[in-house]
Amino acid sequence: MINDGFEPLFDSVFVNSDYEELDDDVDDNTDSLASLRNDDDSGNSESEDEEEQNGCDNDEIDAEWSNVVVARENSPLDESSLGFQSDIMLTCKDPVDFYELFMVDVWELIVKETNIYGYQKHPGWEPITMEDMKKFIGLCLQMGIVQLPHLKNYWSNNPAFGKYPIGPDVMSRERFEKILTHLHLADNSNYDGSDRLFKISRLIELINRNCKAVCRPGKEVYINRSMPFTGRVLFRQCTPHKKLRYDVKLFKLCSERGYTYKMLAYADKNHNRAGHLAERVVMTLMDDLLDEGRHLYIDKWFTSVSLAESLLRRNTYLTGMCKKNRIGLPKDIIQRKLSKGQWAAKQKENGVMVLRWKDTQDIIILSTAHDISLIPNTSKPEVVESYRKRKASMDSSAQMTSYSPYSTRSNKWHVYFVP
């Protein structure tokens, strides 16, 4: 994680977002996403769900659930073509070769769009070459590892900063700052107002293509939520003098060991509820992995009875922490008084199980792949332990992202998505 002393490093050279150059025609009724929070934080974001839940017929819902929970056999997954593609991996000799697997066509995009923006701002712009951009990204990665108080310190011979600066041997500080302040991923002149994420859409498209080419996930997959930067983005609408602030969130579908298979970005102006948008995010990320018997682990921002049933119809299993006020949960399980160590569970005829376990706090888990088996010599349900073990994999991708030097605040939001 970048410490507070590192923030001035990029703040000193970042410019304001060029949202003034763009007109964003935004529908005020756009669906919204819930704000990011830890699994254990129920927060105020559940208020919308509570209103929907209270409007449901609880007796009718409870009648769909049975106290009898039976184990169901999961469909096997053909793993003959899964995992990392050996023909691609064998072409890599050095660590940088693996990095380049994910940068196919990405270098060209960044260089092209940065030069276009540079010429738009300065007719006498000195073109950035592919070699320049690789040196620039290399320096940024190094700055994420070796943290100094200010950008200028990386070009300083002062013994306090290591005596051997990493900057001068790569490029001048002036050249570095010039690239940093003009770094672009899309041509503003092509913006038609239909896509708030226009600045990063092509980049994500290329990276998703490259990630899919290298590896196909196995049985277990995870969805991770992250906010690439702190703060909210200011987009201009077609209405004069009217701007809306949006959170930009990144959703990543990852394999068992944290490999990112696919990414999906969303910008939303109202971050107090998830609604059906969470289900659409999951189904979009999973679209080419459905119908094969996979098992998806998610946190409680996504989990719902409706999502579990949608995935089950596509031969895909789900296990996830669940908010207590999700629509469709049996009332008596949620409201039943439990002492520490006790649990209660119910199951629908289609195989969706909800289990509530009382530990130091209430834990509610929805699963279509587990039953009520307990860990030997304990009162702890196996499904709880199974989720706990997978949680580390769910968080590993976000942990890797935290090492990026772009973890400081800036209005130039698209910079945080540069690989």
- Give 162-211 pLDDT, tens digit per residue: 777 889 999 999 999 999 999 999 998 888 877 778 888 999 999 999 99
pTM of the entire predicted model: 0.79
- Structure confidence at residue 192 (pLDDT): 80
95: part of which helix (H) or strand (E)?
Answer: helix 95-101
User: Bridge-partner residues for 320, per DSSP?
Assistant: 298, 366
Average pLDDT over residues 283-296: 96
Please report the DSSP string for 213-253 in residue order. Answer: HHEE--SEEEEEEE-SSSS-EEEE-SSTT-EEEEEEEEEEE
Domain count of the fold of the chain:
1
| SS3 label, residue 192 | coil
Greater confidence (8 vs 243) lies with 243
| SS3 label, residue 298 | strand
- Structure confidence at residue 130 (pLDDT): 96
> Would the pLDDT of 97 be above 50?
yes
Residues 198 and 373: their CA atoms lie apart, in Å, by 48
Closest CA to 303 of 416, 215, 387, 177: 387
Q: In 227-358, which ranges are E strands?
A: 233-236, 243-254, 260-268, 295-298, 317-321, 343-348, 353-358
98: left (phi over 0), alpha (psi -120 to 50) or beta: alpha
* pLDDT one-digit tens code per residue, 26-63: 333 333 233 323 444 433 444 444 444 444 567 788 88
> Would the pLDDT of 240 be above 80?
no
> Would the pLDDT of 161 be above 60?
yes
Average per-residue pLDDT for the chain? 80
- Structure confidence at residue 412 (pLDDT): 66
What is the torsion angle, in degrees rounded to the nearest 10, for the CA atoms of residue 152, residue 155, residue 161 and residue 165?
160
Residues 379 and 50: their CA atoms lie apart, in Å, by 30
Angle between helices 198-214 and 106-121 (to 10 degrees): 160
CB 217 within 8 A of CB 296: no
Q: Are strands 353-358 and 362-367 parallel, antiparallel or unpaired?
A: antiparallel
CB 194 within 8 A of CB 371: no
Tokens of 378: 């304990």
Closest CA to 346 of 359, 358, 328: 328
Domain that holds residue 168: 4-29+35-417
Helices (H), 105-216: 106-121, 130-145, 173-182, 198-214
**CA 33 to mean position of chain CA atoms:** 13
